[in-house]
């Protein structure tokens, strides 16, 4: 097959591609930051909360880990506006694609980050908590100053791995017409007739970023073994 590559399409479509990259970066940064924050609260609820709260947190985690992420995105994009219209009576009430995507990513990632954080806390020996309380710290002070610093070191590689997975999952917002990196590249590809070039470029970028993340995880694990 005789195919003539047109890499100039990257230059012509670069402003649109750059906007898509910015959107992907926004989705990853917000999903990671709020997801980890919510994950910490869920993990603490499961480990140290009253039974009813631990059960509720466990239900939440199991629910969102069992549902395909694309379905969660569809919930917020299609079903939440329907509920809002029914409650408010406003026929124009809705959720834009960016808010639907952010809500879906934060809620779903919180469940995954929760289990990573919970495992990190459990990886610290029980004797650390007993020693801290014996020195006069209460449970929350011991958790903040003794347990969590050690747990963070243990769970950092897993947190990075989950963030890499989040980066790849952001491409799902293409189904709700949100202009992320993949969506922007697809628009350029259809406009210029350069599907092969654009998708090779997208694959190369994802490969480079994810490989960097994998290298960082490997480096951290080696440091942990050395420590």
Closest to 98 measured CA to CA, from 30, 46, 147? 30
Number of domains within the chain: 1
User: Is 3 part of a structural domain of the chain?
Assistant: no
- What is the C-alpha to C-alpha distance for residues 90 and 105, in angstroms, rounded to an integer? 26
Instruction: Report the pLDDT value the prediction gives residue 164, as an integer from 0 to 100.
Output: 94
User: Is 2 part of a structural domain of the chain?
Assistant: no
Look at 44 and 225; give whichever has higher pLDDT. Answer: 44
- pTM of the complete model beyond 0.85: yes
User: Is 113 part of a structural domain of the chain?
Assistant: yes
Task: Work out the angle at residue 167's Cα, subtended by the Cα atoms of residues 61 and 201, and round it to the nearest 5 degrees.
Answer: 155
Q: φ and ψ at 82, to 5 degrees? A: -60, -45
Closest to 9 measured CA to CA, from 201, 183, 204? 201
pLDDT digits (tens, 9 = 90+) for 33-50: 999 999 999 999 999 889
User: Is 215 part of a structural domain of the chain?
Assistant: yes
Rg (CA), the chain: 22
Asked if residue 66 lies in contact with residue 112, where contact means CB atoms within 8 angstroms, the answer is no
User: Is 204 part of a structural domain of the chain?
Assistant: yes
- What is the C-alpha to C-alpha distance for residues 165 and 163, in angstroms, rounded to an integer? 5
Look at 92 and 141; give whichever has higher pLDDT. Answer: 141
User: Is 112 part of a structural domain of the chain?
Assistant: yes
User: Is 51 part of a structural domain of the chain?
Assistant: yes
Residues spanned by the domain of 160 = 8-226
pLDDT digits (tens, 9 = 90+) for 151-205: 888 888 899 999 999 999 999 998 888 889 999 999 999 988 888 999 999 999 9
Q: Give the single-character DSSP code of 94.
A: -
**CATH code, domain with 179:** 1.10.3720.10
- Give the pLDDT band (50/70/90) at residue 227: low
User: Is 146 part of a structural domain of the chain?
Assistant: yes
CA 192 to chain centre: 32
pLDDT digits (tens, 9 = 90+) for 47-78: 988 999 999 999 999 999 999 999 999 999 88
- Angle at which helix 181-192 crosses helix 14-48, to 10 degrees, equals 160
């Amino acid at each position: 097959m005789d195919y003539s590559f047109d890499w100039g399409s990257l230059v012509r479509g670069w402003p649109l591609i750059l906007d898509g990259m910015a959107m992907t970066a926004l989705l990853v940064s917000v999903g990671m930051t709020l997801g980890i924050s919510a994950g910490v609260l869920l993990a603490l609820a499961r480990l140290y909360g009253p039974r009813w709260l631990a059960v509720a947190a466990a239900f939440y985690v199991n629910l969102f880990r069992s549902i395909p992420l694309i379905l969660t995105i569809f919930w917020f994009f299609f079903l939440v506006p329907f509920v809002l219209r029914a409650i408010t009576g406003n026929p124009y009430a809705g959720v834009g694609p960016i808010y639907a995507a952010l809500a879906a990513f934060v809620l779903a990632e919180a469940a995954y980050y929760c289990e990573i954080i919970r495992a990190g806390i459990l990886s610290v020996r029980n004797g650390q908590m007993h020693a801290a309380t014996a020195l006069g710290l209460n449970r929350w002070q011991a958790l903040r100053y003794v347990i969590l610093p050690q747990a963070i070191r243990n769970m950092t590689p897993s947190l990075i791995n989950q963030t890499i997975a989040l980066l790849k999952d952001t491409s799902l917002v293409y189904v709700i017409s949100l202009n992320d990196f993949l969506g922007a590249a697809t628009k350029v590809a259809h406009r210029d007739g350069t599907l092969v070039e654009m998708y090779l470029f997208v694959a190369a970028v994802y490969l480079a970023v994810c490989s960097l993340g994998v290298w960082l995880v490997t480096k951290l694990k080696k440091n942990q073994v050395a420590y």
